[in-house]
Amino acid sequence: MKSTPFTKILVANRGEIAVRVIRTCREMGLGTVAVFSEADRGGLAVRFADEAYLLGPAPSRDSYLRGDKIIEIAKRSGAQAIHPGYGFLSENAAFATACADAGLVFIGPPPAAMDAMGEKTRARDHARKANVPVVPGSPGPIAEEPEAVRIATELGFPVMLKAAAGGGGKGMRRVDRLEDLAAAWRGARGEAKSAFGDDRVYLEKYLDQPRHIEIQVFADQAGHTVFLGERECSVQRRNQKVIEETPSTIVDPQMRARMGEVAVRAAQAVGYVGAGTVEFLVDSQRNFYFLEMNTRLQVEHPITEWIFGVDLVRWQIEVAQGQDLPLAQTDLQPRGHAIEARVYAEDPQRNFMPSPGKIQTLRVPAGPGIRDDGGVFAGYTVPIYYDPMISKLSAWAPSRDQAIERLRRALSEYVITGIATNIRWLRKVLDHADFRSGSYDTNFLARRAEELRTPNDVALEEPALLAAVLRAYQADRRTKAESRSAAPPSPIPSAWRRFSR
Amino acid sequence: MRFVLRQGDRETVVEVEREGDKLSVALNGKLRQIDLAEGDQGLISLLVDGQAHACDFDTRKGNQVRVYVGQSVFEVELETELDSERRARRQLAGGGSGAAGPQVIVAPMPGKVVRLLVKVGQPVKAGDGLVVIEAMKMENELRSARAGTVKEISVAEGAAVEGGARLCVVE
């Protein structure tokens, strides 16, 4: 395959992922172009990039979703390629097509592959055709309620109603009994309509105690496709991942090989190129079923990078330039264990209410085996317009136990003041017996919500009060010292004055 | 030097004394010798009988301070005894306002007003929803803490508001 090296890349994203991508570009000697909304002028990505251009007002639709403006800026700045990060335009086939039409390389899969995997029922169809097991369910979107009743009865309750265009838990309803189906049918369609502008829904069998495990795949333009192990993502709150680890405690080498083989087959079936993730649901008997394919870099990609010792963003750029994958399947040997915790600007004490605002103090953990992918700094105001994730903290260690201890240690070093964060709660999750034993499923956080409450450590109250008082005392002394020095000079010259003569 | 420390309803007087480099604090009937060092970004490192604590602070409105130590967060109100006495005298002179005054609903965070659930003059019960604020793609309903009548609505639907902004008044 012909290789055309890039010299400059535009990063069409914000926050930590924009910083993450720019870092690799720097290491590769590539020029970087950031784009930003009015709310992100002060962001880290703008500082790290060589060039930065304003997209528009804060709301995403006026800024990070303005594909036309992004393409225009790429052309004007002389970038050859656009890295979309995750979210925003990363899975938008029309944007990828528009890039190609403008003579720009979209760093991601071909639009046809995105289309094939973009809509859930179509993706299930492709998976089935490639002999990839899918969760039993309706063959496609369901037109009328009586049909939903018929299929749900056939599948047996409980069932899941899901939006065909869905994602992020929207337009999703668990239905336990036939009597509840009518209300769930209306609710799911209404929610799907408002979230995606598409009210088509389909049915799936509800899996008991499901785990969410995904396989990282990577393909180059020459048709080589590999997989890089799994990521266990069952620690979720309201269908949002919170803690991810690799390897999974329930995946043994045989199961890993089978899941990997299936994931590679799913990718090849749609002519996949670049980084992709095949998500599976795994039931309590360790049967796995295709859920969906994410046609982009995942948020939690660092844990895969840890155990394989690779830089997936570098791979994305190399593959987009037409180079072959740097490693073959047999060369990909994982080492040790990695865990990631997502630090959110939200308050677990107040039902996880978002907590935007200005960060007063920021102390980021460091030390052996620790990586912090952040996009914030002291003095930065977490804007109200975007996702409340402020950083991803990950740890690597030779064993799972050591990785847990290391991540706990690092979380205890993390200090963010000025806004509320979920840091203390994350430690509590890592400490929970279910997490320690590795026997958890996607219901873990909901089931254990009470036990995961995070009261203050009462033993620290006295030191806190002492510190507050002494701080006020020091401030008072400083004020008095200042007013003394502002007073007329004393007639006796100081020793310094004598010496400086 | 003496300070008045408030946590909720609790009020404590704390005394700090300095002898050369040595600081001692009398708190809750205990006298503590403390070694103090100041760090970056306002950090205070304490050694209390050899136990090390690193504390960060976040100054809230007025005399409120939030102390971060070992992943716990404590909120206290703190002023010098002198200031506290002056304030008490002023309040006495001004008559002071009763505890059953109007309830001012403020935005708990910066965000957008998505819906007003009440109108001026409307009676509300404790727990009734008043205003819905959206921040970071999440909607949060603000409720009335007690029964009363809506006296004022200070914002319009669709308005962007800062944290602490006045939204409505229930009396």
Tell me whether domains B2-94 and B103-170 share a fold: no
Residue A105 has which token pair? 């390389």
Alpha-carbon distance A277 to A217, whole Å?
Answer: 6
* Three-state DSSP class for residue B4: strand
pLDDT of residue A306: 98
Alpha-carbon distance B10 to B1, whole Å?
Answer: 20
Task: Express each pLDDT in A135-186 by its tens digit.
Answer: 999 988 998 999 999 999 999 999 999 988 876 667 888 899 999 999 999 9
Which residues, other chains included, contact B12 with Cβ-Cβ below 8 Å and sequence gap of 6+?
B4, B5, B6, B27, B28
Residue to substitute from B21, B74, B114, interface A, most A β-carbons within 10 A: B74
CB < 8 Å to B31, chain A = none
Whether the per-residue pLDDT at A498 is higher than 80: the answer is no
> Average pLDDT of A336-347?
97
Nearest CA-CA distance, residue A379 and chain B, Å:
11
> Which pLDDT band, with edges at 50, 70 and 90, does A489 fall under?
low
> What angle do the packed helices A301-308 and A312-320 form, to 10 degrees?
90
Q: What is the DSSP string of B56-107?
A: EEEE-STTEEEEEETTEEEEEEEEEHHHHHHHHHHHHHH----TT--EEEE-
pLDDT, chain A, mean: 93
- Cβ A356–B135 below 8 Å, yes or no? yes
Q: Which sequence spans correspond to the domains of chain B?
A: 2-94, 103-170
Chain A residue with minimal CA distance to B138? A354
CB < 8 Å to A470, chain B = 16, 23, 25, 34, 36, 44, 46
pLDDT of residue A492: 55
Alpha-carbon distance B69 to A317, whole Å?
Answer: 43
> Average pLDDT of A215-224?
97
Structural domains for chain A: 8-107 (3.40.50.20), 136-205 (3.30.1490.20)
Whether the per-residue pLDDT at A501 is higher than 50: the answer is no
Strands (E), A168-287: 172-175, 201-205, 211-219, 225-237, 240-246, 274-282
> Which residue stretches of A309-422 are H helix?
312-320, 400-413
Contact A308, A151 (CB under 8 A): no
> Which one of A345, A387, A467 has the shortest CB-CB distance to B55?
A467
Alpha-carbon distance A362 to A200, whole Å?
Answer: 45
pLDDT of residue A192: 82
CB < 8 Å to B80, chain A = 472, 476
Lowest mean pLDDT among A256-260, A378-382, B6-10: B6-10
Is the ipTM value over 0.85, yes or no? no
Residue B133 is inside which H or E element, if any? Answer: strand B129-135
Alpha-carbon distance B112 to B108, whole Å?
Answer: 11
Alpha-carbon distance A383 to B1, whole Å?
Answer: 41
pLDDT of residue A88: 93
Choose which CATH entry (2.40.50.140, 3.50.50.60, 2.40.50.100, 2.30.30.190) describes domain B103-170.
2.40.50.100
DSSP 8-state secondary structure symbol assigned to residue A179: G
What are the backbone dihedrals phi and psi of residue B48, each rounded to the nearest 5 degrees, phi first? -115, 110
Distances (CA, A) of A60 to A12, A36, A39, A397, B153: 12, 10, 10, 38, 29
Alpha-carbon distance A369 to A66, whole Å?
Answer: 38
Looking only at the bridges linking them, the beta strands covering B138-143 and A51-56 are unpaired
Residue A342 is inside which H or E element, if any? Answer: strand A337-344
Residue A404 has which token pair? 């847990």
DSSP 8-state secondary structure symbol assigned to residue A313: H
Confirm or reject contact between B106 and chain A (CB < 8 A): no
Alpha-carbon distance A412 to A282, whole Å?
Answer: 33
Lowest mean pLDDT among A58-67, A71-80, B81-90: B81-90
| CA dihedral of residues A23, A25, A29, A34 (deg, nearest 10) | -90
What are residue A218's DSSP bridge partners? Answer: A226, A275
Chain A residue with minimal CA distance to B47? A463
Which residues, other chains included, contact A263 with Cβ-Cβ below 8 Å and sequence gap of 6+?
A215, A217, A227, A278
Residue B2 is inside which H or E element, if any? Answer: strand B2-7
pLDDT, chain B, mean: 87
CATH of domain B2-94: 3.30.700.30
What are the backbone dihedrals phi and psi of residue B95, each rounded to the nearest 5 degrees, phi first? 90, -35
Alpha-carbon distance A427 to A407, whole Å?
Answer: 8
Q: What is the DSSP string of B7-58?
A: ETTEEEEEEEEEETTEEEEEETTEEEEEEEEE-GGG-EEEEETTEEEEEEEE
What pTM was computed for the model?
0.84
Task: Express each pLDDT in A389-433 by its tens digit.
Answer: 999 999 999 999 999 999 999 999 999 999 999 999 999 999 999
Looking only at the bridges linking them, the beta strands covering A337-344 and A357-358 are unpaired
- Cβ A384–B53 below 8 Å, yes or no? no
Chain A residue with minimal CA distance to B59? A418
Whether the per-residue pLDDT at A493 is higher than 60: the answer is no
> Which residue stretches of A104-211 are H helix?
111-118, 120-129, 145-155, 181-196
